[in-house]
Amino acid sequence: MASDWFDRVTVAVGVIMLNIMLVVGLLQVVNRYIDLPVSLPWTYEVARTTLAFLAILGIPYLFKNDSDISFLPVLRRITSRTDQLLLVRNVLMAFLSALLVWSAYVATGTSGDTGLPLLSWFKVGWGYTFFGVAAAVLFVVVVTDTKQRVGNLIGGNDV
């Protein structure tokens, strides 16, 4: 049941971000052909930042759904003992995600009150915080996956 709410929240936030990108992209295109009464130089920055956030949000989701590495289907054809090999991946991912959380923490403190060039109200530190939270979620997903894989190895259900 826990995975169900995680998938729903992640997909919902992803769909919202995609819709934001769609609306902003539509505004950019319309502004090229129709002279709107307001200036829209910020649309490029909003679209680019939303795309970056969407990619960051996708990392824990893809890992949880076994879509994070492209060689997994090939690995399953070569050997049936993928859990042992993927434990090495999990150790590396746990280290990477912990490093990313620490890096985001340091970057948030360093960025101060710096805003984006065209969206001064949006602080760069918020982006680093979002990145750190996504990395922390990735760490939790990796630990949960590792626990399940170790349980399968101990229980003899290595598939």
Domain ranges across the chain = 2-155
Q: What is the pLDDT of residue 99?
A: 96
Q: What is the pLDDT of residue 65?
A: 79
- The tens place of each residue's pLDDT in the chain, 159 residues long, gives 456 888 888 889 999 999 999 999 999 888 888 887 887 888 888 888 899 999 888 888 888 877 756 567 777 777 777 777 788 888 999 999 999 999 999 999 998 788 888 888 888 899 999 999 999 999 999 999 899 888 877 876 554
Q: What is the pLDDT of residue 15?
A: 93
pTM greater than the 0.85 cutoff: no
Question: 19-45: b or e for each residue (b if 16 or more CB lie within 10 Å)?
Answer: ebbeebeebeeeeeeeeeeeeeebbee
* Residues 6 or more apart whose Cβ sits within 8 Å of residue 58: 14
CB 78 within 8 A of CB 155: no
